[in-house]
A and B are shown apart, each in its own frame.
Chain A
Amino acid sequence: MSRDVVIQLLYIVAFALFIYGLMGLTGPRTAVRGNWIAAAGMGVAVVATLLTPGMGNWWLILLGVAIGTAVGVPSAKQVKMTAMPQMVALFNGVGGGAVALIAWVEFRESHGFDGSPAHVAVASLFSAIVGSISFWGSLVAYGKLQEVITGRPVGIGRLQQPLNLVLLLASIAFAVVIIGGGDAQLLIIGLLVASAVLGVMVVLPIGGADMPVVISLLNALTGLSAAAMGLALDNTALIVAGMIVGASGTILTNLMAKAMNRSIPAIVAGGFGGGGSGTTQATG
């Protein structure tokens, strides 16, 4: 019992550090310190979570953290300064992927949210959809900036928007069936695949120049999916940190779009609206 209180208190320390760190990141003089303050908050949050009563599977946790460290540290240290934006896209993507995978495991462990409260199912499925969109969308953004995929807008013309709408509705339809009691594995896989294709289809038609704004948008989305995951798991740290990123990321996306004299709807819809001019510019 008392250990739960300690965890909650440590979470409060972590939020304070996150918010203070973020405030620092908005000013040029305090930014470096702000970043490390936020990182310290993350350390506190992780330690607090490991104190949760009944924690087990230590080998799994250790293995996951070891793999993550072994991959994350060298790639962050070695990436060229000019390749930073795509690196951020990649890190954002794996965060979204983590959310989607956790939601998938939740589905499997609870046999299709059988007996879970409705809000747990809704929040988990929301985070699965958004996480999957963010993962695949970010991968495409990475590919475009790294020039693995052509930086030019790739689209299927007028059919793009109706197709995206169909994919979104399909993801939601899978979610509704699951909430309605469906527990077949194919349902959650269908949901993840439909939202994955949606993520790819939304980002593919966007030109390379608009990519930073798109990455920022996907970053905000991953934050929202983390907050939803927090609601599902009843974990305040996830709710607070996820939502702060969701909100601040949205504002930041707006600021970035404004600085480029673009609007977010115009960028996201860029594949068919301004696609023509974007193509000629990008080839130059």
Chain B
Amino acid sequence: MLVQNLAILVLAGFVGFAVISKVPNTLHTPLMSGTNAIHGIVLLGGLIVAGLGAEGVLDKILLVIAIAFGTINVIGGFLVTDRMLSMFKAPGRAGGSKTNQKKEQR
């Protein structure tokens, strides 16, 4: 099982390297935010450890915090990325006027 998982780990690493080769400078921050949201997958770790049995009170408290943290990471991450990207939308597209306002605010 460990060897299989290590194989998956190495392959996933190369996928990660391959996906990010050329990124325009303006997209660096949204991309950072997007990958940040994806590592919110740690939420699954919290769900599994909590769901398959946490005994003590302290363990339960710690897990609730961990799940809350993971949820914040996922939901907040994707929402913030979307808001950042709304600044890059072409003016002609839907919501263009809104986008321009945001640009001016900035």
Contact = CB atoms under 8 A, between A and B. Distances in A.
A25 B27 contact: yes
| Chain B contact surface mostly | helix
A246 B106 contact: no
A10 to B, nearest CB: 12
B58 A108 contact: yes
A23 B84 CA distance: 17
Could you say which interface size class chain B belongs to? 35 or more
| Chain A contact surface mostly | helix
A92 B36 contact: yes
Contacts of A69: 71, 75
Interface residues of A, number: 99
Interface string B60-76: 10111111111111111
Given A106-B49, A248-B16, A42 B71 contact: no
Interface of A: 18-19, 21-23, 25-29, 31-32, 34-36, 38-39, 42, 45-46, 49-50, 52, 54-58, 60-61, 63-65, 67-69, 71-73, 75-77, 79, 81-82, 84-85, 87-88, 91-92, 94-95, 97-99, 101-102, 104-106, 108-109, 117, 119, 212, 215-216, 219, 222-223, 225-227, 229-231, 233-249, 251-252, 255-256, 259
6 contacts: A36-B82, A60-B67, A72-B73, A84-B29, A95-B69, A245-B16
